Structure 1
């Protein structure tokens, strides 16, 4: 079954989505508009469109420390020493569907604390560019053209900068699983500061800066 015909929206859902449609450019292809409506996608601050499809009700305490997050204190008495550790509570896992289109082909520089697993769902190929803390740049392709080197799944390690670009086709749909689960407190958009941090990568960095 085509994802464009995988279900029907209620009248209330259509009215709700009309607000989202105002943010969609008129020159998006009809197929893309239908996909956005059917999957109830919203514009993403990183570029493209998305919808959260799963957020685990189970939560875990991470070792991350943040003044903005929910914290708990734990007492470690293993060596008869009182050690207070701040932990951030997160959902075990979250998942979204994410769409890049010919009109919105770029996902701008961003990084997340958690690892992200991307799954190819359909359409064209997407180039995934990452930069680690020491400035190592890597590029892989997510897509269904295996003979051309595409991969069906790609893992981006937490803490790495990443950007995406549609390189083949009119659209590309993917799934993203994040563990521990995604939280905006853990996400940071890239700024021009990246140009000073990685001066040898200026040309690549400038291609995917939002500002």
Structure 2
């Protein structure tokens, strides 16, 4: 099943972990002057990807400069761990079991640190970003720095960081 998803959707390894395929990038752009100062240039209106995360792998803590809306498609539930700028921790459970608090969609706000992991064999989800994703807006966390900013979550950070 997992190999079929990778082949069918032409998924590639993602730098933060897992596999992805960009499925949409708006052909129209927001000019740099109309964006918040933290953007370095123009951005597409929106982008979307498929994202596949396998058992025993994780998407390492990272952040981007745009809001990111997550969409659940199939497989096991996905846990998205969010460290908000105000210091609060949030666990988002993407999945189909609403009785357990799982949701089909959730938003990680711009600038928040987040990591994700499948709680089963695999989780197949999608992500929509607006303004559109650009790798110039992507920052992979360093565990030491993140632990200094979020000392109450040291074990989670050590488990879900690569640096």
Q: TM-score, normalised by structure 1?
A: 0.72
> Paired residue for 1:53?
23
1:90 aligns with 2:90: no
Give matches, 1:167-206, under 5 Å: 167=119, 169-192=120-143, 193-206=145-158
Give matches, 1:1-211, under 5 Å: 31-61=1-31, 62-65=35-38, 69=40, 88-104=41-57, 106-167=58-119, 169-192=120-143, 193-211=145-163
Give distance in 2, aligned partners of 1:178 and 1:190: 19
Q: How far does the alpha carbon of each residue in 1:64-98 deviate from its partner, in whole angstroms, 9 at most, with x for none?
A: 246xx4xxxxxxxxxxxxxxxxxx31000000000
Give distance in 1, aligned partners of 2:10 and 2:141: 27
SS of corresponding position for 1:202: helix
Query: 1:170 Cα deviation (Å)?
Result: 1.2
The one of the two structures with greater contact order (alpha-carbon pairs below 8 A, sep at least 6) is 2
Query: 1:103 Cα deviation (Å)?
Result: 4.5
> How many residues are paired up?
159
Unpaired runs of at least 5, structure 1? 1-30, 70-87
- Runs (4+) of structure 1 exceeding 3 A deviation are none
SS of corresponding position for 2:123: strand
Unpaired runs of at least 5, structure 2? none
Root mean square deviation, CA, Å: 1.2
Give distance in 2, aligned partners of 1:147 and 1:123: 17
Give distance in 1, aligned partners of 2:125 and 2:7: 16
